[in-house]
């Protein structure tokens, strides 16, 4: 299945039957006149917005703004223009990203991305200026006086808080300028280096050694052959060791920047800022983490049962962590997968089925692994209700589950149709809601229709993923928390970063894993570390919140779909606790998180029974 045009044709396909995404509905190519015109229009929009802010006296100073008719008109004009500018730049940014993420060697895309980053700094400064201006207003009075403000009430209340953490305008401008050679540049280095990393690999002693993309090597972690998994693990670790010095420099620099900016802006800690940005409080986070820690003995029970089933040992080496289990009948070839996903989505709602069918028919998914393509998977909104999904598909239930997960993000984007950019600002915690829900739909359907071997394969793939999101995510949280603390004193060496990673893995996986065969370079693997905030705990929140919602759906399916779609449309307009209350969920209570984790514990019990 090959789309008419793609964002990357420079590399030979490793799996030629899988689709690449089609970006031609947006522009013919990066070199096209249409793209250049859209790019120029974005720059013009930014310049016009700056001029409008000057005219309306949207100022970065802290002088109080009186809420009168003039202030209301100024706000409504400014908000309308700001939303329009964000809408325009969204498509252009996503289009450029579609080339970079599928072929990091695309020099034109690299150049255009760098140019876009530099040219959009004024928009970042205008956003800061807008926030500071809102911070000087009585937002309650503004909301009472303006229907536009009322529609954006949550954004305004959030801006009021953010404004208290802004630095003087000249300092914010300097931070934005320096980001191009600071944190953003280090993050880009990680992306470029890891996507182009070639790993020397010999599948057997008699095979010739060949250079394999890191994404392909990491995919061998789920190869059915144990010796292949072991050799791939050893090759991967050796490759990360060779690349570790520049990656350690990047990570140290980014986390130093994070700590400095957090302190300068008056946040109690980077974690406090991350909780605010994710629309939760620290009491909610602690309730969730406490419930997660209490579940570790059950996850270790799963890992030990898997170790006995895979190799007869009591503890699992890292290279068996993703070992597939079960000789199911279902091969999960691409066409079978897309039909199954659309059919099962349809069991929830016609709207969800039609969305999936459109995504497949219009080639929204780039599923083919290839050199230069980013590892992992993601979904990005491009324009209105249109999204694009990147995945390195492997014909296994895990691959099916990942596809359903990313389609869930796309469905969320569909439900946000009609919301302005200021209303669409969904935090990572709530962004995972639809993706986990869609994963669960597919898992339950596949499990119900499978024989024992199918069920074992599905159950193990599910537990594998859930173990990553609860246990491994906690290890990453501990690592990041300790790294940020240590980085206030000095840089950490490669050896220290790796030992910090091992320590975090030992504390969470415990006796479920062989402590002599861990993954000390996981800090180098995960690109999410190379950003300005905590990335990890929102995934756990999303899993457990999504499971909680799915349980509510099974209890009371009548009318659930309408309420669910409305919830997804509101994720940028309320905090997580408020949205949870719509379904009788109290996220500040550990009991809710325990109830979601009990679903997983039930899966562990089923798994143990199947492999006994």
pLDDT at position 406, please? 98
Q: How confident is the model at residue 525 (pLDDT cuts 50, 70, 90)?
A: very high
Model confidence at 6: pLDDT above 50: no
Over the stretch 511-523, which tens digit does the pLDDT of each residue have?
999 999 999 999 9
Q: How many CB atoms lie within 10 A of CB 193?
A: 16
Over the stretch 247-269, which tens digit does the pLDDT of each residue have?
999 999 999 999 999 999 999 99
pLDDT at position 11, please? 40
In this structure, the chain runs to a length of 612
User: What's the rounded Cα separation, in Å, for the pair 217 and 201?
Assistant: 8
Beta bridge partners of 389: 365, 379
**What's the burial of 490, exposed, middle or buried (CB within 10 Å: 0-12/13-18/19+)?**
exposed
- Average pLDDT value for residue range 62-89: 95
Model confidence at 1: pLDDT above 70: no
User: What's the rounded Cα separation, in Å, for the pair 207 and 205?
Assistant: 6
Pick the CATH number of 33-180 from 3.40.190, 1.10.8, 3.30.70, 1.20.140: 1.20.140
Tokens of 292: 């997660």
User: What's the rounded Cα separation, in Å, for the pair 294 and 283?
Assistant: 17
Model confidence at 592: pLDDT above 60: yes
Tokens of 158: 């959030």
Residue 120 has phi, psi (to 5 degrees) of -95, 0
- Average pLDDT value for residue range 573-585: 93
User: What's the rounded Cα separation, in Å, for the pair 24 and 198?
Assistant: 30
Over the stretch 24-46, which tens digit does the pLDDT of each residue have?
999 999 999 999 999 999 999 99
Model confidence at 120: pLDDT above 50: yes
User: What's the rounded Cα separation, in Å, for the pair 435 and 555?
Assistant: 20
Model confidence at 102: pLDDT above 90: yes
Over the stretch 190-207, which tens digit does the pLDDT of each residue have?
999 998 999 999 987 778
- Average pLDDT value for residue range 388-403: 93
DSSP, collapsed to helix, strand or coil, labels residue 383 as strand
Model confidence at 327: pLDDT above 80: no
- Which of 272-281, 325-334, 544-553 is the least confident region? 325-334
* Residue bearing the bigger pLDDT, 501 or 7: 501
Domain positions in the chain: 33-180
pLDDT at position 31, please? 96
Sole residue written with tokens 């002599």: 516
Residue 382 has phi, psi (to 5 degrees) of -115, -50
Task: Give me the helices (H) in 57-182, please.
Answer: 69-100, 107-119, 121-135, 139-145, 147-151, 153-163, 169-179
- Average pLDDT value for residue range 355-366: 99
Q: How confident is the model at residue 480 (pLDDT cuts 50, 70, 90)?
A: very high
pLDDT at position 252, please? 95
- Average pLDDT value for residue range 492-520: 98
Spell out a b/e string for 417-451, using b for 16 or more CB atoms within 10 Å of the CB, else e: eebbbbbbbbbbbbbbbbbbbbbbbbbbbbbeebe
Q: How confident is the model at residue 15 (pLDDT cuts 50, 70, 90)?
A: very low
Model confidence at 4: pLDDT above 50: no
Mean pLDDT, the chain, integer: 93
pLDDT at position 9, please? 39
User: What's the rounded Cα separation, in Å, for the pair 506 and 475?
Assistant: 8
* Residue bearing the bigger pLDDT, 328 or 291: 291
Residue 607: which of 226, 229, 319, 299 has the closest Cα? 299
- Which of 65-74, 528-537, 538-547 is the least confident region? 528-537
């Amino acid at each position: 299945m090959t789309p008419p045009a793609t964002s990357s044709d420079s590399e030979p396909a490793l799996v030629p039957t899988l689709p690449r995404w089609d970006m031609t509905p947006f522009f013919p190519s990066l070199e096209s006149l249409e793209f250049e015109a859209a790019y120029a229009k974005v720059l013009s929009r930014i310049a016009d917005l700056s001029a409008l802010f000057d005219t309306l006296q949207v100022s970065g100073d802290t002088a109080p703004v009186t809420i009168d008719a003039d202030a209301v008109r100024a706000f409504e004009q400014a908000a309308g223009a700001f939303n329009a500018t964000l809408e325009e730049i969204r498509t252009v940014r996503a289009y450029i990203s579609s080339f970079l993420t599928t072929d990091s060697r695309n020099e034109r895309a690299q150049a255009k991305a760098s140019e876009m980053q530099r040219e959009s700094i004024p928009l970042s400064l205008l956003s800061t200026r807008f926030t500071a201006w809102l911070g000087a207003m009585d937002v309650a009075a503004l909301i009472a006086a303006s229907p536009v403000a009322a529609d954006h009430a949550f954004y305004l209340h959030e801006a009021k808080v953010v404004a208290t953490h802004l630095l003087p305008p000249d300092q914010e401008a300097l931070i934005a300028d320096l980001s191009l050679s600071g944190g953003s540049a280090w993050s880009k280095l990680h992306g470029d280096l890891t996507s182009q990393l070639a790993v020397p690999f010999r599948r057997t002693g008699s095979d010739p050694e060949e250079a394999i993309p890191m994404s392909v090597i990491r995919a061998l972690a789920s190869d059915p052959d144990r010796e292949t998994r072991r050799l791939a693990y050893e090759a991967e670790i050796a490759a990360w060791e060779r690349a570790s010095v520049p990656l350690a420099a990047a990570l140290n620099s980014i986390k130093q920047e994070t700590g400095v900016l957090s302190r300068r802006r008056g946040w109690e800690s980077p974690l406090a800022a991350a909780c605010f940005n994710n629309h939760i409080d620290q009491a909610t986070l602690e309730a969730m983490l406490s419930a997660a820690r209490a579940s570790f003995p059950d996850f270790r029970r799963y890992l030990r049962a898997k170790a006995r089933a895979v190799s007869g040992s009591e503890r699992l080496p890292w290279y068996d962590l993703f070992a597939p289990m079960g000789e199911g009948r279902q091969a999960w070839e691409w066409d079978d997968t897309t039909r199954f996903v659309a059919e099962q989505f349809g069991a929830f709602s016609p709207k969800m089925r039609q969305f999936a069918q459109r995504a497949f028919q219009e080639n929204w998914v780039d599923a083919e692994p290839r050199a230069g393509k980013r590892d992992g998977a993601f979904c990005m909104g491009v324009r209105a209700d249109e999204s694009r999904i990147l995945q390195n598909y492997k014909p296994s239930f895990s691959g099916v589950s990942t596809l359903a997960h990313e389609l869930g993000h796309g469905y969320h984007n569909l439900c946000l149709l009609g919301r302005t950019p200021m209303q669409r600002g969904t935090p990572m915690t709530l962004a995972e809601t639809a993706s986990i829900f869609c994963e669960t739909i597919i898992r339950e359907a596949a499990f119900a229709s499978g024989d024992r071997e199918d069920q074992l394969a599905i159950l193990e793939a599910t537990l594998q993923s859930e173990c990553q999101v609860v246990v491994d995510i906690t290890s990453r949280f501990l690592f990041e928390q300790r790294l940020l603390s240590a980085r206030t004193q000095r840089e950490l060496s490669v050896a220290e970063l790796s030992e910090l990673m091992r320590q975090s893995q030992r504390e969470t996986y415990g006796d479920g894993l062989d402590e002599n065969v861990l993954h000390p370079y996981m800090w180098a693997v995960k690109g999410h570390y190379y950003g300005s905030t905590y990335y990890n705990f929102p995934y756990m929140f999303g899993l457990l919140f999504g499971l909680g919602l799915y349980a509510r759906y099974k209890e009371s399916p009548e009318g659930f779909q309408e309420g669910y779609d409305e919830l997804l449309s509101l994720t940028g307009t309320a905090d997580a606790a408020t949205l949870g209350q719509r379904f009788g969920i109290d996220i500040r209570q550990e009991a809710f998180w325990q109830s979601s984790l009990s679903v997983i514990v039930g899966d562990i019990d089923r798994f143990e029974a199947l492999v006994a």
